[in-house]
Amino acid sequence: MARYQIILAYDGSGFFGSQRQATAPTVQSKLEKALYRLGWQGSSVLLAGRTDSGVHASGQVAAFDMQWNHAPDDLLKALNSNLPAEMSVSAVKPVRDDFHPRFDAVSRRYRYRIYCQPVRDPLRERYAWRQWPLLNGGALQDAAKFLIGKHDFAAFGTPPRPGNSTVRAVTEAVWRSCPGKVPGTVQDGQDVLELDEWYFEVSADAFLYHMVRRLVYVQVAVGQGRFPAQVVSDLLEGRSSKLPAGLAPANGLTLVEVTYVE
């Protein structure tokens, strides 16, 4: 018997989150079903973190104990043969017996994708939040800078358990852009490439429930000129309770990486 760590990717569109539920399809239930087909006799796999309904992952981490008399690469192939098309395992390795993907993690990284178009794009809508008008990149970056460091993020989310700390340490918060064609942007008779697509990447020791999606919503409000960037600092420091009401939709969010001390 050995404990295995796997890196898991999934399209969350058709799942009711990552955590097992009694009647709804989830990432955990599909993974466990694939393991049972391979002779696994456990009761529950361990996950690095919970993702909401509709949230995707390219770097979710899971662990389980299993008697496997073949190489880890054979386990990887066997799992992928039994998982649904919306899921895949990119890496498998044995780890120490007490390894826990959630409690041993030192940081997590999420990416949120936005595209700017006046009408929906069916080829991007599934994995990104459509916004219009265009976002001001400078304002987005100004807002993100306030997030770096250790802060009380109570204004942006709730702890996994009532009464737990809402303080988190953010080590990276940055917006990256990709140019694209936006209708109506023409100069000298030629289309002008605007910043049509944005990615918000944020890393922290841990995250509150809905924290990333709330952070994105507030920063988008700043990027559209509805609030100054200072509102982020005011909310973190408790100087203001005026939070732009709303939550960025789940489909734009991806859990990219979970890191551990080697």
Residues 52 and 131 in one domain: no
Per-residue confidence (pLDDT) for residue 148, from 0 to 100: 98
Tell me how far apart the alpha carbons of residues 213 and 255 are, in angstroms, rounded to a whole number: 12
Kindly state whether residue 100 falls inside one of the protein's structural domains.
Answer: no
Per-residue confidence (pLDDT) for residue 188, from 0 to 100: 42
Residues 112 and 187 in one domain: yes
Q: Is the peptide bond before 159 cis (omega within 30 degrees of 0)?
A: no
Per-residue confidence (pLDDT) for residue 245, from 0 to 100: 81
Entry pTM: 0.93
Residues 129 and 183 in one domain: yes
- Per-residue pLDDT 10s for the chain (262 aa) are 999 999 999 999 999 999 999 889 999 999 999 999 999 999 999 999 999 999 999 999 999 999 999 999 999 999 999 999 999 999 999 999 999 999 999 999 999 999 999 999 999 999 999 999 999 999 999 999 999 999 999 999 999 888 899 999 999 999 999 877 676 554 444 445 677 899 999 999 999 999 999 999 999 999 999 999 999 999 999 887 666 789 999 999 999 999 999 7
Kindly state whether residue 41 falls inside one of the protein's structural domains.
Answer: yes
Residues 56 and 112 in one domain: no
Residues 185 and 256 in one domain: yes
**140: closest CA among 65, 75, 208, 222?**
222
Kindly state whether residue 101 falls inside one of the protein's structural domains.
Answer: no
Which residues are tagged catalytic? Answer: 52
Per-residue confidence (pLDDT) for residue 178, from 0 to 100: 81
Residues 117 and 244 in one domain: yes
Integer angstrom CA distances of residue 152 from 1, 54, 207:
42, 27, 11
Residues 91 and 53 in one domain: yes
What is the extent of the structural domain holding 243?
Answer: 106-260
